[in-house]
Amino acid sequence: MSPAAGPAPWAEESGAVFPGERRAQPACPGAGGRAGAMGPARRRDALRLRGGGSPPLLRLFPGRLSAFPLFLLLLLLGFASLLWLQLSCSGEGPLPGGQPRGAPRQPCPPPAPLQPPQEEPSWGPHRLALLVPFRERFEELLAFVPYMHRFLSKKRIRHRIFILNQVDHFRFNRASLINVGFLESGNDTDYIAMHDVDLLPLNEHLDYSFPEAGPFHVASPELHPLYHYKTYVGGILLLTKQHYELCNGMSNRFWGWGREDDEFYRRIKGAGLQVRRPSGITTGYETFQHLHDPAWRKRDQKRIAAQKQEQFKVDREGGLNNVRYRVESRTDLSVAGAPCTVLNILLDCDTNETPWCTFG
């Protein structure tokens, strides 16, 4: 290309200056209409000469830096910082200040302690013991504890959640576990909820307050998704501790699944108590979420030996007064930030009295 040909078009667009060439001076404002306006390319050059424009960090990168590469850079820097912190706490990374590797390190900060429920005096004087009979339903437990803690806290119900975990080798005994939970719930609770782990209340208008007038059946036949007979009192039942003692608790003769709540209904009536149920709830059978999947978890519905006849009888002798058990361990823990107490319970069985307590 000969010198007479002039600068290349790309040079004019970019504002590049070649040796020996003088850049044209822009016209003074007002001297020639549009001639006084500075083009985008020339404005970038002027900012670059004056030291203005992009922040120092962005000047390290050529051209324009879009939002995504910048986000990626910040993400990498954050990850590197966390990695350095972990290595410095664990003893794998370099020590600050050039200290030798054998020098003592400052320990990592301990995890934050579990926070108790944020109760207030306006919540009232009563405290609920939520008694949850349990065995090997961990996926349901992980959903139940945080959900019920939020549900009750939103309703300003003082509460403690007790997971009654049966760890012996006998068949499951829901009634005996509730008796144990009642005895182990402490003096700081004055009423109980016999609560299935696979049943979650969806309607915020359901009442979990102190049932002073008598047993309150939250999961009433009109609302429970599965059981609709009139004498049903299972699922979720609230009682004051005084009323539960008046009934002598529940019968310990029901090993396996079912019938213990039907027998307890007769105890309630025998104690002269009247079962109350929710009113004004319009959500019907969609009031609760039932987490149990019968295809995945089979219930122990076997009736062994004389159990077929005994399951329909009223136990007029046993209950709180003769439940036989030992608490193997008691652990306070948090599930997704929700506090609960897990009791590992070893029930005992008199095989001469109830031979159907074993799987044989």
pLDDT tens, the chain, 360 aa long: 444 445 544 444 444 444 444 555 554 444 444 444 555 555 555 545 454 555 554 555 555 556 777 777 777 887 777 766 666 554 444 554 555 554 444 455 444 444 545 677 778 899 999 999 999 888 899 999 999 999 999 999 999 999 999 999 999 999 999 999 999 999 999 999 999 999 999 999 999 999 999 999 999 999 999 989 999 999 999 999 999 999 999 999 988 876 899 999 999 999 999 999 999 999 999 999 998 666 556 665 565 666 556 766 778 888 999 999 999 999 999 999 999 999 999 999 988 888 888 876
Q: Do residues 323 and 242 touch, judged by C-beta distance below 8 A?
A: no
Helix, strand, or coil (residue 329): strand
The rounded radius of gyration (Å) of the Cα atoms in the chain is: 36
Query: Does the pTM of the predicted model rise above 0.85?
Result: no
Nearest residue to 233 via CA among 245, 223, 219, 246: 219
Torsion sign across C-alpha atoms 334, 338, 341, 347: negative
Distance CA 330, CA 189 (A): 17
Q: Do residues 251 and 184 touch, judged by C-beta distance below 8 A?
A: no
Q: Do residues 252 and 356 touch, judged by C-beta distance below 8 A?
A: no
In sequence order, what are the residues at sequence separation of 6 or more whose Cβ sits closer than 8 angstroms to the Cβ of residue 117?
149, 153, 158, 159, 339
